[in-house]
Amino acid sequence: MKTDIRLDALQDGSSLPADARQDVMSPQTAASPGQPQTVDVPVSLTDVPLPAGAAALDHDSIPLADPGFLLSVECPGRPNAGASPVGLVPGASPMERPSLTLALLQAREAAMLFFRPLLNRHGLTEQQWRVIRVLYRHGVLESHCLADLVCILKPSMTGVLQRMERNGMVRRYKASHDQRRVFVELTEAGRTCFERMSGEVENSYARLQEKFSEEKIHQLLMLLDELRVLHP
């Protein structure tokens, strides 16, 4: 059973005094039957209580310039009949509109549940798999181009590649004419790893498609492509 809780995050990340917080289980917060229940809970981002089994919030991805965002959590004992999707509260003010960035993070986490067990079995992190997949497709890439394609910050990219190089999955080398340019390619072991896992990855995609449908996946990818190329 769910309640949509609006979290007013403090801009400096500090916590409010205990007496300034509302008891979300208070009888005064009850909504009429069949209506989504929205409770204002002023807390800091670091104090958000997550239900068991929920993914941890990526605080760096939440825009603190927006003082509010919506999070759907499980509240035992609360009716859920007629509840709206996360954040879609009828008549919500602009401050209560759903967070697109948070919804994208939650959707990514849901999709990764189909693939993460496979990566764990092969001893790979999500970042390492993205590197292997992109390099298998493109061959040799300059390190900063690789970082952009796999969506890893350049400072973090160095550490990821160092670990993969130690494990014999990639090879790095500098351009002979410009020592500042670093190129990356898969080793034979890296290519073998991709080929060995590709069948299992396709099976995971098939399970996801069975749950979500091929048509919806196609529509979602088209919308994400449109969103991806937008610039402020």
DSSP letter string, 16-78 = PPGGGS--TT-GGGPPPTTS--EEEE---GGGPPPPTTPPPP-GGGS-TTSSEEEEEEE-TT-
Residue-range domain boundaries for the chain: 2-98, 116-228
Fold of 116-228: Arc Repressor Mutant, subunit A (1.10.10)
The angle subtended at Cα 199 by Cα 195 and Cα 145, nearest 5°, is 50
- Dist CA 186 CA 130 (whole Å): 12
Per-residue pLDDT of the chain (232 residues; tens, 9 = 90+): 444 443 444 444 444 444 444 443 444 444 445 554 444 434 344 444 444 444 444 433 333 333 333 333 344 444 444 444 545 555 666 677 889 999 999 999 999 999 999 999 999 999 999 999 999 999 999 999 999 999 999 889 999 999 999 999 999 999 888 888 999 999 999 999 999 999 999 999 999 999 999 999 999 999 999 999 999 9
> Looking up tokens 């764990």, which residue turns up?
120
Ramachandran region, residue 16 (left: φ > 0; alpha: ψ -120 to 50; beta: rest) = beta
User: CA-CA distance, 185 to 139, in Å (whole number)?
Assistant: 6
Using the 8-state DSSP alphabet, how is residue 97 labeled?
A: S
Tell me the two tokens of residue 87.
Answer: 């954040």
Record the pTM.
Answer: 0.58
Which stretches within the chain are classed as H helix? 100-112, 116-121, 126-138, 143-149, 154-166, 188-212, 214-228
In this structure, are residues 149 and 119 in contact, taking their beta carbons and an 8 Å threshold? no
